[in-house]
Structure 1
Amino acid sequence: MTTTIDKIAWIHVENGQLLCARSKGKDLYYIPGGKREPGETDSDTLVREVEEELSVQIKSETISHFGTFEAGAHGKSEGVIVKMTCYAAEFEGELNPAAEIEELAWLNYSDRNHVSSVSQLIFDKLQEMKLLS
């Protein structure tokens, strides 16, 4: 039986690098975002999660769908997959780690092995689009 973890993620690229985060006690980086709460839309989830984790406010009117990616979930049993629906958006404020986030990092394609399987697919897409250095 397959279990799907439904997540929303924020794709933010600057100078050929993707903004990623690392949670306290974890070894891999991930693309900021998280799971939706009951009744939330994708946009609601994106705005809430980014503010909780990164201390910035997503400009709702700038949200655009980037893509949806699926892969095996890191650290979970076989048959558990992550479905990550990704959005790009502009933001206001200063990026600072908050909540469970220990570190923010700007990663390029050579850092691909430091992220989860589903994030590697996103790195591949960004590289294919010539957005990552």
Structure 2
Amino acid sequence: MSLIDKIAWLHLHEGRILSTRSRGKDRYYLPGGKREPGETDAQTLVREIREELTVELDSGTLVHVGTFTAPAHGHPDGVLVQMTCYSGHYAGHLQPAAEIAEVLWLSYRHRPLVSAVDQVIFDWLRAQYQLAD
């Protein structure tokens, strides 16, 4: 069994969650990514969000929301992704950059359009009454 370690930013507004689609991909993903060697969760998230969405996360406001695991989308059987999720404040204007083709706000009805681990997160957020139908 193989595990992909990712860090994600959960940013909710009016019952919807910020999501992204990378160029050439058919699924939406929560913004974030993989850590570089020696990076902390906060360093990874600040870097990834700056690269993907051109905004600055305030690392002092980051709060661990949860860690979720599911089969990795587009990988062979037995490959799992572990997504460690944080919320936090940002400064700047959200816009797609780097490999990101699209930035949008999703509600629970968009669940079939996201990766397996994001579906687990959507279910959890809905159970917490944070994600609208």
State the TM bucket, normalised to the shorter chain.
over 0.9
Which residue in 2 is equivalent to 1:28? 27
Structure 1 partner of 2:7: 8
RMSD: 0.4
SS for the counterpart of 2:3 is strand
- Give, in whole Å, the separation in 1 of the partners of 2:19 and 2:101: 11
Q: 1:122: how far off?
A: 0.4
TM-score by length of 1: 0.98
- Indicate the residue corresponding to 1:74 in structure 2: 73
Alignment of 1:50-65 (within 5 A): 50-65=49-64
Size of the aligned set, in residue pairs, is: 132
Specify the alignment match of 1:40 in structure 2: 39
- Give 3-state SS (helix, strand or coil) of 1:67's partner: strand
Distance in 1 of aligned mates of 2:113 and 2:34: 21
- TM-score normalized by the length of structure 2: 0.98
Any gaps of 5 or more consecutive residues in structure 1? Answer: none
| 1:130 CA displacement | 0.5
Aligned to 2:118: 119
Mapped to 2, the partners of 1:90 and 1:19 lie a distance apart of 13
Q: Is 2:131 the partner of 1:132?
A: yes
- Alignment partner of 1:102 is 2:101: yes
**% identity of equivalent residues:** 56
Structure 1: which amino acid aligns with 2:94?
A: L
Q: Structure 1 segments of 4 or more deviating over 6 A?
A: none
